């Protein structure tokens, strides 16, 4: 048991370090390249430090929130996150102790999906994607190929969420049906 816990902690620590490294590197690149007169290493270091600190604060806040939420259901933060990942994949946890947390996570995901499916959100995401793509074309005409690629990337990332929402909704509906079946006495098991 302690070996698997150690491996899980090592995996979490590795993931956190990777996120912080990517944040610092992207901050450095954004700060160093943002200058108009070429590469500014001092600005890159400063910007990297700011982005690193902001990433640390965001990670700490998210971890605190997850631990507090998991404690409400008597679970560890890692176990609570595993339940959330299983629900995102469309699977119901087998352990009955995890079912209240699974119901809570599914309810919160349903709330998020209902907000995202509103008409004004679609218009806002479409407008944001259009602006990023228009900026990319303008950067191409100005021969700023790095900024153009960055704008194309952000325009594409803006469009990913609406395109993947249908699949998320289907998976969540499957989880909700399975949770209702497990809640009903005498219902067949979905495991």
What is the per-residue pLDDT across 6-31, written as a single tens digit (0 to 9) for each?
Answer: 776 777 777 778 888 888 877 777 77
| Confidence check: pLDDT of 37 > 50 | yes
pLDDT of 190: 45
pLDDT of residue 187 exceeding 50? no
Q: How confident is the model at residue 134 (pLDDT cuts 50, 70, 90)?
A: very high
Predicted confidence (pLDDT) per residue in 52-61, tens digit: 888 889 888 9
Return the exposure string of 46-84: e unless at least 16 CB atoms fall within 10 Å of the residue's CB, then b: ebbeebbeebeeeeeeeeeebeebbeebebebbbbbbbb
């Amino acid at each position: 048991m302690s070996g698997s816990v150690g491996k899980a902690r090592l995996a979490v620590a590795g993931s956190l370090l990777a996120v912080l490294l990517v944040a610092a590197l992207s901050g450095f690149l954004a700060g160093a390249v943002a200058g108009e007169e070429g590469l500014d290493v001092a600005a890159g270091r400063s910007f990297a430090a700011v982005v690193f600190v902001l990433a640390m604060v965001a990670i700490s806040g998210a971890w605190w929130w997850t631990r507090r939420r998991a404690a409400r259901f008597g679970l560890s933060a890692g176990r609570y996150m595993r339940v959330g990942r299983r629900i995102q994949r469309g699977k119901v946890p087998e352990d009955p102790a995890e079912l209240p947390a699974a119901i809570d996570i599914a309810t919160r995901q349903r709330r998020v999906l209902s907000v995202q499916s509103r008409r004004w959100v679609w218009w806002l995401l479409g407008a944001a994607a259009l602006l990023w793509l228009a900026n990319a074309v303008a950067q191409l005409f100005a021969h700023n190929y790095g900024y153009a690629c960055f704008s194309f990337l952000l325009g594409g990332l803006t469009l990913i969420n609406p395109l993947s929402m249908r699949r998320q909704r289907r998976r969540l509906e499957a989880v909700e049906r399975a949770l209702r079946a497990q809640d009903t006495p005498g219902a067949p098991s979905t495991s």
